[in-house]
Amino acid sequence: MEVAVLGALLIEKSAIEAIIDILRPEYFYKPAHQEIYRATLELFAKGQPIDLITATQQLRKMDKLELVGGPSYVMELTKCINSASSIEHHARLIVEQAFKRSLIEMTAQIQREAFQDNSDVFELMDRHTRQILELTANGTRSRPVKGADIVYNMLKDLEIEVANPGAIRHQRVFTGFFDLDQITGGLEAAILMILAARPAMGKTSFSLNIILNATQTFGASTAFFSLEMSKEDVVYRLLSMISGIDTKTIKKREMNEEQVQKVRNAEATLNNLYIYIDDTAAVTIAELTAKLRRLVYNEGIKIAVIDYLQLMRATERASNHREQEVAQITRALKQLAKELRIPIIALSQINRSVESRSGDKRPQLSDLRESGEIEQSADIVGFLYRADYYGITEDAMGNNTKGITELILSKHRDGETGTILLQFVAKYQRFSNLNDTNFPEPVDDSDTFRALPAANIRLDGFSQNPDGEDEEESDDPLDLFAP
């Protein structure tokens, strides 16, 4: 087949156009055939005709003519075929055989490395999984498509959406924050969103709110990777968000009978939601990749949150160049989002310099901590900012800032940027869309609790004191109220 393809290239000058986006030199088994094909590619790139004489001259220039067997071998190639009509079919068969050889080599390499005592199994799996995916991508490289065909398919999707609302929208994940969803159109598959803020601004709370909304309101399976809090503390927060009882009250068991019933109801709600929580500390990018792949393929995960970026590691070994490591992790997360076709939200810290800044202390892109690669790789970068946290009681227009949180979209690769205002009730740490009339005023714990729509629930819990230490050791929250 290799001889047939090369012979066809040498007898018909336009034959290369049929296979140039299919066949690579390394796909040929015989080294001599690789060099001959490289020579034809060089001629094509220079706009020169491809035939027996020009190919021989090009091989001589490349100092490869004797390596391939001399002019006599190149001449023999043209005697083995009369037409180039089957060249594309033969080229695809060559690609198939090359991929089989690659798989054989990979499996042998996996076996050798797996027997080594010092091998990192997660890194091993991640590296070879990437190689297989790259092999798959090479084998399915797309060819140019007519613009008219693209328009037809787009309008066809539009007709489906009009006839069956929601049929196409499932490809995006909605957050439940109306202004954010309006700007982004929902979080699109394959994007990396960075959510950054100073400590105590509510990064974890906001991301958990998105997770709960995506699951409870829009039916998406979700994953939350907590590198800082235990999985029990994450569930405490979710119980608080659903029940309307603050985390401290639940953890300290300081509840009356009515409140216990609310938590039981919250437990029943949570049991029916597809939220997967992992609290592995200092997880490496290889471990995260392996876990998230399994969740996507086995559980149908539609969105994932990592809390937070600076606590991840690129490898098991500690790095002395933290900025380079964070850059490597950020690039890997973006590649993972593209591979799995899901949005990934990574929380991030910002520099302390914002605290010493005069004025309103709103964060900006230059405040992102440890790596400019974060800004470069992210599709969306958002900052959380609460003016009243800094004792600023009025904005520039004289409006009261109490209870107002700003979500500042400083980068949006495919759309507009701007600031989204959210309403905040301190007692329950709940956030909602600013002008949502369904959002109730704070009520006493003894009053009847009025359930909020999922889009209005927001929590920045009390599981840690100001020094960052746990108030008390917690058990599994879902077992606390069993008879």
Q: What is the CATH number of the domain that holds 276?
A: 3.40.50.300
Of 114, 139, 164, the one marking the end of a domain is: 139
Torsion of CA 226, 227, 232, 234, to 10 degrees: -40
Q: How far apart are CA 121 and CA 453, in angstroms?
A: 44
CB 221 within 8 A of CB 215: yes
Token digits of residue 471: 């108030």
Q: What is the pLDDT of residue 181?
A: 86
Contact 406, 176 (CB under 8 A): no
158 assigned to some structural domain: no
Same structural domain, 318 and 461: yes
Whether residues 225 and 297 fall in one domain = yes
Q: Count the helix, strand and coil residues of the chain and give each as a percent rounded to the nearest 5.
A: 50, 15, 40
* 176 in Cβ contact with 220 (< 8 Å): no
Pick from 119, 139, 159: which residue ends a domain? 139
In the annotation, is 228 catalytic? yes
Q: β-pairing, 222-226 with 275-278? A: parallel
Q: How confident is the model at residue 450 (pLDDT cuts 50, 70, 90)?
A: very low
Q: Are 346 and 280 within one domain?
A: yes
Residue 381 located in a structural domain: yes
The alpha carbon of 52 is separated from its chain's Cα centroid by a whole number of angstroms, namely 50
In the listed set 139, 158, 190, which residue is the last one of a domain according to the structure?
139
Least confident of 309-313, 375-379, 446-450: 446-450
Q: Which pLDDT does position 398 carry in this prediction?
A: 77
Structural domains counted in the chain: 2
Asked whether residue 222 falls in the same domain as residue 130, the answer is no
Range of the domain at 91: 2-139
- For all residues of the chain together, what is the average pLDDT? 77
- 418-448 exposure pattern, b = at least 16 Cβ within 10 A, e = fewer: eebebbbbeebbbbbbbeeeebeeeeebeee
**Do the Cβ atoms of 388 and 360 come closer than 8 Å?**
no
Q: How many CA atoms lie within 13 A of 385 on its CB side?
A: 23
150: in domain = no
Same domain as 72, residue 206? no
Q: How far apart, in whole angstroms, are the C-alpha atoms of residue 239 and residue 220?
A: 19
- Whether 62 is covered by a domain: the verdict is yes
Residues 377 and 447 in one domain: yes
In a domain, 113, yes or no: yes
For residues 418 and 406, the answer to whether their CB atoms sit within 8 Å is no
Which of the residues 228, 370, 375, 473 is marked catalytic? 228
Segment 250-292, tens digit of pLDDT: 888 878 888 888 888 888 888 888 889 888 887 888 778 878 8
**Partners of 222 in beta bridges:** 275, 303
Domain CATH code at residue 60 = 1.10.860.10
Are residues 119 and 187 both part of a single domain?
A: no
Residue bearing tokens 């437990």: 267
Query: H helices within 146-246, ranges in order?
Result: 147-163, 178-184, 203-216, 231-243
**Residue 155 domain-assigned (yes or no):** no
In a domain, 161, yes or no: no
- 300 shares its domain with 403: yes
Query: What residues pair up with 387 in beta bridges, in sequence order?
Result: none
Residue 162 lies in a domain: no
**183 contact partners, CB below 8 Å, separation of at least 6:** 409, 412, 415, 416, 418, 420
pLDDT-based confidence at residue 3 (cuts at 50, 70, 90): very high
Give me the residue label for tokens 């409140």.
259
CA-nearest of 56, 47, 5, 44 to 27 is 5
Choose the weakest-confidence range: 60-64, 79-83, 326-330.
79-83
Residues 315 and 395 placed together within one structural domain of the fold: yes
Query: Residues 166-212: pLDDT tens digits?
Result: 544 446 888 888 888 888 888 888 889 999 888 878 888 889 888 98
Instruction: Please report the pLDDT score of residue 36 as a whole number.
Output: 92
Q: Do 116 and 38 share a domain, yes or no?
A: yes
User: Is the pLDDT confidence value at 164 over 70?
Assistant: no
Q: Are residues 309 and 218 located together in one domain of the fold?
A: yes
Same domain, 134 and 220: no
